[in-house]
Structure 1
């Protein structure tokens, strides 16, 4: 049976011993996040990045980003938690829960701290596959009522004229949506994600939502 390819650049080879000497292979190097995103689901490798979505914001997982891209990391088996701004190295295998690419971590190492990347400003209708995993920012008009989708959260649609985008406000985020009204203009910063067939932005904290004056 054909198996999914493994990213050999991120795997350590066992030391090779001969009767003359021992050749030691250096430890695995980290791949760019964009590299592991482009590999087939089920590939294994190591990436390093800064945490942009802290553990517990949406669930037990978190998100990381480097200069090339971002990706979600599913909840570690040991329930460890990682704060935004923590620089981590993750070794694991990619998966695709609800059509959103993620890494199922086998091991996580804290490397230190780093500045959070600036969110990428994107038009609402341009939030596509290329932005998935990144910290992004959108601005637009609320096109309908806020939909109560508890216990998971709330949904609203935002449109800047380029196409509507789903804003999913997770119930664990602590964001109050009670004052949001149709026709209101908002700036939303958050994680560019996907759930099933829907592209969405997920704000992380109350400060990720800002009312804007009507243009």
Structure 2
């Protein structure tokens, strides 16, 4: 068994009350998520987007209670230390510092402001070989053949592998998602939706909840 190395948990202070505005010293200038992703690490930015994952869904491998947000072009993971009960479609403005977590670009927040509901984010259909740095942070979907059945990577979660002919891809299932891996045997076709992620040198999809992993008929 290949053990997934522990991500470093970042202790941070988050305004835990939903709807609390950013502090007065925070810059009011909002940049696109794509622009924020292009800036150097340790830059403080303010971004606005719609949640695509529930908070805490990836806690077993990310070691936080964060969530992802996305705008019309790009997405990013918000590494929150406290569970703010974020649900997909929550509209969120975040001021924080750009960091790196084992290759994954994240934002460590100083202030989080929930302000209503955003548009429903549709997953971007991709070939398995196209999940890459260019798609990191987005909600994506692949339809492919399972090449390797689920294997334990506890306490972090489980992983299995899929390929549609364009390249094998890791699917990493965190324990909090409650996804039933029964029946995901090699050779079966599956559709997987989730967060386009990175861990060290490889890219992966992290599904969010049971409906994100379904078997398909050929």
The TM-score by the shorter chain falls in which range? 0.7 to 0.9
* Partner residue, 1:102: 106
1:172 matches 2:187: no
- Kindly state the Cα deviation for residue 210 of structure 1 after the two structures are TM-superposed: 1.4
* Cα distance between partner residues in 2 of 1:65 and 1:57: 16
**How far does the alpha carbon of each residue in 1:108-157 deviate from its partner, in whole angstroms, 9 at most, with x for none?**
01111123210000000011111000000001001122111112111111
| Structure 1 residue ranges without an equivalent (≥5) | 1-11, 15-26
- Kindly state the Cα deviation for residue 80 of structure 1 after the two structures are TM-superposed: 2.6
Identify if the C-alpha distance between structure 1 residues 172 and 13 changes in structure 2 by more than 3 Å, giving closer, same or farther: closer
Mapping of residues 20-169 of structure 1, within 5 Å: 28-59=28-59, 60-76=65-81, 78-169=82-173
Give yes or no for contact 2:69–2:78 (8 Å, CA) kept in 1.
yes
SS in 1 for 2:41: coil
Q: How many correspondences in the alignment?
A: 190
TM-score (norm 2): 0.83
**How far does the alpha carbon of each residue in 1:3-53 deviate from its partner, in whole angstroms, 9 at most, with x for none?**
xxxxxxxxx998xxxxxxxxxxxx622100000000011111100000101
Q: In angstroms, what is the RMSD of aligned CA positions?
A: 1.6
- Kindly state the Cα deviation for residue 198 of structure 1 after the two structures are TM-superposed: 1.4
Which structure's relative contact order is higher, taking Cα pairs within 8 Å and 6+ residues apart? 2
| Structure 2 residue ranges without an equivalent (≥5) | 1-22, 60-64
TM-score (norm 1): 0.85
